Structure 1
Amino acid sequence: MTVREIKPGNRGFLYVNCHPQGCADVVDDLWRRTPGPVGVEEGGGSERPVALIIGSSAGYGLAATVGALRTYGMRGLGIAFEAPETERRTASAGWYRTARTAELAGEGSGFAFLNADAFSAAAKQQALDHLAARYGRVDHVLYSVAAPRRTDPVTGEVHHSAIKPLGSAYRAKTLQYEGDTPTVGSLELEPATGAERAATEQVMGGADWELWVEALVERGLVGAGFRTAALSYVGSELTAPIYRAGTIGAAKQHLEDTARRLHARLAPLGGQAHTVVAGAAVTQASTAIPSIALYTGLLRAVLGDGFRSTAEQVADLWRQLTGAAPLQLDAEQRIRLDGWELDAKVQAEVHARWAAATPGTVAGLADTEWFRAEVGRLYGWHVPGTDYATPVETTVPWPNGS
């Protein structure tokens, strides 16, 4: 066991150390914000449902895991790929968040956590063996993986994603910090090559999700009522050149095409597949995308408390996936959770603030303090009530499951 005082050690939006207690406190807050237990009927039958959540340690995947446990008492498995503690650094934030999530679920929850590369064949084999032995079925699969690279489990080729526009160069407006002072900068991005687009589709598209679903079908773990969903995003016209109309957007289109193919594959078995268009959120993945930080800070300033948290959005999603509420599908059969963000009046105000944002005006137009604090919270920093002055235990075991 190691007790030590930890310093944030951040450069911009990247933190080199995480605070274990801060990460645990973030999960506690998420747990409090998540609706309490529902009745058996709303939860999906006389037996507790079984969920597989791929990417369970951060963002929407973490919120979905907490919702599955706290609201519906689901059994199952969460998968994340997290780094343990070393002599120089703490464990990753997702490691500490997962440990606390397991503590809150309690012994006997029937929900376990696997630390493994979800892209690998070995992780799929281990996860399916666990699910087959424990439950013999899976009711829900949520796919929420964000990674910069993926090794194809069949060919062994390593694909690296590229965050770039398509067709022509793009000057991205960015939110930056000079110390604690927010400012507006810009970044010139050259268009992606065909190879970069294809690689990004392989990392962020639906290839791995499809492998997971096919593996479940082959093992006979999918039956009537099965639903699988993969998290996606559309966003604003302001961020479209670098997001929806860029390489990431090409990957999201690949994900949506995969959903339609999987839906047809599952229909004879009584199953369904959809992508889920969630609203904006501050995540480790989103902070790496030019323009998204500025846009999200502006959106928060416009909406205030109307900015919907991941917990609120996932609560809506689980109600739909469990049958407690009808699926809210758009013309492309995507589950939409982002109406609050894309409301015409909201977007008009965000557009106006975007146009007016300069180094001298951004602090009054965007909620920059909120955004900076939210980024810190991803690593367990800037969490109200956390004692950062006292040395903390950094050696936290990965949960063994129950």
Structure 2
Amino acid sequence: MAGSARAVVIGGGIGGLAAGAALHRRGWEVTVLERARSLAPVGAAISLAPNALRALDVLGIGDEIRELAAWQGDGGLRTPSGRWLSRSDAAAATARFGDPLVLLPRATLIDRLAALLPPGGVRTGTVATVVDPGDAGRPARVRGGPADADDPTAHEELEAELVVGADGINSRVRTALFPDHPGPVYAGFTTWRVLIPLPGVAFASHETWGRGQLWGTHPLQGGRVYAYAAAVTPAGGRAPDDERAELLRRYGDWHHPVPAVLAASRPEDVLRHDVHHIATPPPAYHAGRVALLGDAAHAMPPTLGQGGNQAVEDAVVLAHHARDLAAYTAARLPRTTAIARQAVRIARVDMAGGRAAVAVRDTAMAALSRLGPALFLRGFDGIADWRPPYAAGDVQLGEPQGRDT
């Protein structure tokens, strides 16, 4: 083998950038290709559980991210009238899992991950296609070029010892590897997200469950607030006027601070997206020299808050098994499939719409709360207590797979 091994990452979201950073730390020459013109996500935040924070420790930025987080997990679950069904306890979570749940803007995490890559390591405005997944005897081939270029001669072909498909739920890489896979399905509900300044408004971090809909509000640094909502609706629906008006109709009479958040929001601040997930896992998370990661492999409903967390886990595990992608599939497919199925089960509970089902659900949540936080935290056993396969200082556990000579 001669020269550095090359990795091409298709997709510059959290998972793709984390994979690029993890591979770079282990000696790979990394190029990240992102279709969008900018890496900056709009109007969203991410909750990072202890499992993801430990993965970020491997990348060397875990403590930095912990310091940037404003919300440390105190809060709880409420009804639309404001009654508390349960209270969360950051100290108990830290004692059980070693870290609390923390929240920060996605843009903050994206910036920190991108900074871990060398100059020129990320190309935005670039569409990429897997031409050949490669095999043990030949590299994979990727064709990439400007996203707005009609002339195919404007695209170049890249060879790589590893290609990472981190291109999201509608992954073209997944389709290229497994053309018979059914792809994502509608989860039955839509979501709204708002990230706005809201200085001077005091409130406790919360998620509120109603009948077939929910709302969450969480403080961020600098007087900002992240709020999200979800409701059971047919796929493809849109408000007849604007989405802020739709939120007012649905949630305007819910408890404080929901009305204050809506009053401070503009129509353009509100993002709406239907929720889809991968109900049938791909047969593997790799083929040839190409590996799938994050939503491209295991998109799940947001009800456990684990989508981005699992993508970061994928990244550090992939870097560990970059020379043996079958081992990567073996390490990740069973775990992420189980977590995705758990997220679907939770969605059925918190999005329940029948009056009797909601009454039973709320009574059960209140009863569990009286028994203490340990019962709630137990649901994250096997998820939040995950640990990476190698430590932060072990960045060169063997040479990366080199170019064939």
TM range (shorter): under 0.3
Bigger strand share: 2
Please state which structure has a larger fraction of its residues in helix: 1
Rg larger in 1 or in 2? 2
Q: Please give the TM-score of this superposition, normalised by the length of structure 2.
A: 0.27
